[in-house]
Amino acid sequence: MTRFLDGPAARVSLMIRRAPPFLRVVESHRKGEWDALDQVDDEPRPKETIYAYRRTKKPGVCHIKATRRSASGWYPMADYSFVAEQPADEVMRSRETWRAWCVEQARAEDGAQAQA
């Protein structure tokens, strides 16, 4: 299970298949319905509100045996924190610009760690 520790999705838990370092989390236009855009090809729907989250540490893994066979399997166990400086909505709505933003953030973090 993946947990969101703070921000708009605080205390939400989702079963996702991937736990990338940065994750787009969407809230449906019907408030309180959450999903994560964890798959490489995931795209937000037009009326969804998108939030950027950062994984807090290396994820674990667990096996879940669900009553619906297709839901059974191995899932990452990860915690995510809300990104204080959210990227522009246009950045988060496009897979290409989202990926570029993630690469830029990872480089900045690597540079900051190298200087420490």
Q: Please report, rounded to a whole number, the percentage of residues in the chain having pLDDT higher than 90.
A: 75
Buried b vs exposed e over 79-116: b needs ≥16 C-beta within 10 Å?
bbebbeeebeeebbbeeeebeebbeebeeeeeeeeeee
> What digits encode the pLDDT tens for the residues 10-29?
999 999 999 999 999 999 98
Q: Is the pLDDT of residue 38 over 90?
A: yes
Q: What is the pLDDT, as a whole number, of residue 24?
A: 98
∠ CA 23-112-116, nearest 5°, is 135
Q: Which residue in the block uniquely carries the two structure tokens 């909505």?
A: 89
Burial (CB < 10 A; 0-12, 13-18, 19+), residue 42, is middle
Distance CA 65, CA 71 (A): 8
Residue 28: name the closest of 9, 52, 56 by CA.
9
Residues 43-72: pLDDT tens digits? Answer: 999 999 999 999 999 999 988 888 777 788
What does the alpha-carbon distance between residue 67 and residue 79 come to, in Å, rounded to a whole number? 25
Residues constituting the chain? 116
Span 77-94, average pLDDT: 97
91 has a pLDDT exceeding 90:
yes
Q: What secondary structure does DSSP assign to 44-74, as a single string?
A: --TT-EEEEEEE-S--EEEEE--SSGGG-EE
